[in-house]
């Protein structure tokens, strides 16, 4: 069956397109991108995108789907439904499942489960070390053959620099980026950012240096090995400064941040709302401004969600024992569009950080809209206002600090391989 999307403004940074274009899709593939496409087939489905933005499907390089082992928090089915609603057509799930994704059997399980139940494309990130213990390397070669696209011990930093060096050497062989969780465990023993808010609320705190010291170390290791390094969920002004300085000397460094780090500060923790507990913690206003500036000037390449769903019992407890994380798929686009409304980024620059840059990092054939390419795209509106209601989340995780917030900008349709996997039927006709 053919689908014709017409009337919308197509913004595709990869192919340098910004204007009113029609898109003709044949089965799983884009057949044609042009102005005023005429198609007379009786079986064609026409979608009216007038007044909306058409963009390549978003790619999230950092998410937690929890399956296998923590299906009470999230499943591949519910997580990908939430991702599709948020505008993501490809997501990369981290390895901290149970069992840990440190061998080809778990990698193959995730791949097959996603193939049968996933609403969007799921790629997996293999663990750097067995069981995330930081003691010995995982079966990197076997996981690569099974389809992993990156390596990470996310949730923990690899404490042993010698072991991380070996992992980087393997990563070069397989052209797999190392995604580094930057946190010195000896310094990161708190639950909130070390600053004025921690003094007020009395919670044990983690200083910025806990992140920055590992950012510096891991870049130095990567440069020594001549490997690619990607630094994930960057949260401090110091980290932005280090990365910006390092990029001038070494070109194989990239990084991402998450919407909560350019939206919230540590003041949000003063109410002891455990939905504001994340790792790394929400930082100061100075750090938030540095993150926004890093996005503006290109030091920060990618926006990722770090989607971390939890069941209510993991959050409805004292702050110090609550689980860390935010259910992020369904609010990421609207929170990020605030950067456009505030003139921090252009719409094209924002889309680039969700599409072109993550695709380049992971060597993926996605992130653009062109004839012969997979029909992965979204339709969204930057001006629609809506109120966040966690009870409407498709994710099992209702843990969001943005419940009740009025946001501006909403995804309306998501297509993966030519199949509509999410549609707001009130806004998109056809």
pLDDT tens for 308-353 read: 999 999 999 999 999 999 999 999 999 999 999 999 999 999 999 9
* Same domain membership, residue 66 and residue 47: no
Q: What is the CATH number of the domain that holds 166?
A: 3.20.20.140
* Same domain membership, residue 196 and residue 261: yes
Other CB atoms within 10 A of residue 268 CB: 17
| Residue 13 lies in domain | 2-54+372-393+405-423
Cα distance between the two ends of the chain: 14
Q: What is the pLDDT of residue 369?
A: 97
Q: Phi first, then psi: give them for residue 29, nearest 5 degrees.
A: -125, 150
Would 430 be classed as within a structural domain?
A: no
Would 311 be classed as within a structural domain?
A: yes
8 Å CB contact between 98 and 157: no
* Same domain membership, residue 106 and residue 42: no
Reduced to 3 states (helix: H, G, I; strand: E, B; else coil), residue 79 is helix
Exposure on the CB side of residue 295, measured as CA atoms within 13 A: 37
Task: List residues bridging with 229 in a β-sheet.
Answer: 178, 253
Would 400 be classed as within a structural domain?
A: no
Would 77 be classed as within a structural domain?
A: yes
Would 180 be classed as within a structural domain?
A: yes
* Same domain membership, residue 291 and residue 224: yes
Which range is least confidently modeled, 9-13, 34-38, 100-104, 387-391?
34-38
8 Å CB contact between 190 and 281: yes
Q: Which helix (H) or strand (E) holds 237?
A: helix 237-247
Let me know the angle formed at the C-alpha of 289 by 232 and 395, rounded to the nearest 5 degrees. Answer: 50
CA distance 82 to 327: 9
* Same domain membership, residue 333 and residue 281: yes
pLDDT tens for 271-280 read: 999 999 999 9
pLDDT tens for 150-175 read: 999 999 999 999 999 999 999 999 99
Other CB atoms within 10 A of residue 35 CB: 9
Q: What is the CATH number of the domain that holds 35?
A: 2.30.40.10
Would 260 be classed as within a structural domain?
A: yes
Q: Is the pLDDT of residue 39 over 90?
A: no
Tokens standing for residue 298: 């290109």
Q: What is the DSSP string of 250-279?
A: -SSEEEEE-GGGGT--GGGGGG--GGG--S
Q: Is the pLDDT of residue 236 over 80?
A: yes
Would 367 be classed as within a structural domain?
A: no
CA distance 403 to 249: 42
* Same domain membership, residue 162 and residue 34: no
Residues annotated catalytic, as ranges: 306
Would 207 be classed as within a structural domain?
A: yes
* Same domain membership, residue 226 and residue 301: yes
Q: Which helix (H) or strand (E) holds 295?
A: helix 285-297
Q: What is the pLDDT of residue 162?
A: 97
pLDDT tens for 43-82 read: 899 999 999 999 999 999 999 999 999 999 999 999 999 9
* Same domain membership, residue 86 and residue 47: no
| Average pLDDT in the chain | 97
Q: What is the pLDDT of residue 41?
A: 74
Give me the number of domains the chain comprises: 2
Task: List residues bridging with 33 in a β-sheet.
Answer: 23
* Same domain membership, residue 184 and residue 121: yes
The residues, any chain, with a CB within 8 Å of residue 190's CB and separated by 6 or more, are: 198, 203, 204, 205, 206, 281
* Same domain membership, residue 198 and residue 243: yes
Q: Is the pLDDT of residue 234 over 80?
A: yes
* Same domain membership, residue 339 and residue 263: yes
* Same domain membership, residue 187 and residue 47: no
Q: What is the pLDDT of residue 385?
A: 98
Q: What is the pLDDT of residue 382?
A: 98
């Amino acid at each position: 069956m053919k689908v014709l999307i017409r009337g919308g403004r197509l913004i595709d940074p990869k192919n340098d397109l910004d204007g009113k274009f029609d898109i003709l899709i044949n089965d799983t593939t884009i057949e044609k991108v042009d102005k005023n496409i005429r198609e007379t087939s009786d079986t064609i489905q026409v979608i009216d995108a007038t007044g909306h933005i058409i963009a390549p499907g978003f790619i999230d390089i950092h998410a937690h789907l929890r399956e296998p082992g923590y299906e009470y928090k999230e499943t591949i089915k519910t997580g990908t439904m939430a991702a599709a609603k948020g505008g993501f057509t490809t997501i990369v799930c981290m390895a901290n499942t149970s069992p840990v994704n440190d061998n080809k059997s778990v990698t193959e399980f995730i791949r097959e489960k996603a193939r049968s139940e996933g609403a969007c494309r799921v790629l997996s990130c293999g663990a750097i070390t067995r069981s995330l213990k930081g003691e010995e390397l995982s079966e990197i070669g076997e996981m690569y053959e099974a389809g992993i696209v990156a390596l990470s011990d996310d949730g923990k930093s690899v404490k042993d620099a010698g072991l991380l060096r070996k992992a980087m050497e393997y990563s070069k062989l397989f052209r797999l980026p190392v995604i580094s969780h930057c946190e010195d465990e000896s310094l990161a023993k708190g639950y909130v950012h070390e600053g004025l808010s921690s003094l007020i609320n009395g919670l044990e705190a983690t200083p910025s240096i806990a992140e920055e010291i590992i950012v510096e170390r891991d870049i130095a290791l990567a440069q020594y090995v001549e490997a690619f390094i990607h630094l994930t969920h960057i949260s401090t002004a110091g980290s932005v400064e280090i990365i910006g300085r390092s990029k001038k000397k070494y070109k194989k460094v990239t990084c991402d941040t998450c919407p909560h780090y350019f939206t919230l500060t540590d003041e949000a923790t003063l109410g002891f709302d455990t939905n504001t507990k994340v790792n790394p913690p929400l930082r100061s206003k100075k750090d938030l401004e540095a993150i926004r500036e890093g996005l503006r000037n290109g030091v920060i390449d990618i926006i990722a969600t770090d989607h971390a769903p939890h069941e209510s019992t993991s959050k409805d407890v004292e702050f110090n024992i609550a689980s860390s994380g935010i259910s992020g798929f369904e609010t990421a686009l609207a929170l990020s569009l605030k950067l456009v409304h505030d003139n921090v980024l252009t719409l094209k620059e924002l889309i680039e950080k969700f599409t072109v840059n993550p695709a380049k990092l992971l060597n993926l054939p996605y992130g653009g809209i062109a004839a012969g390419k997979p029909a992965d795209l979204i339709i969204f509106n930057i001006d629609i206002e809506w109120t966040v209601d966690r009870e409407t989340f498709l994710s099992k995780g209702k843990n969001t600090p943005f419940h009740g917030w009025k946001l501006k900008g909403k995804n309306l349709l998501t297509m993966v391989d030519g199949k509509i996997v999410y549609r707001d039927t009130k806004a998109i006709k056809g």
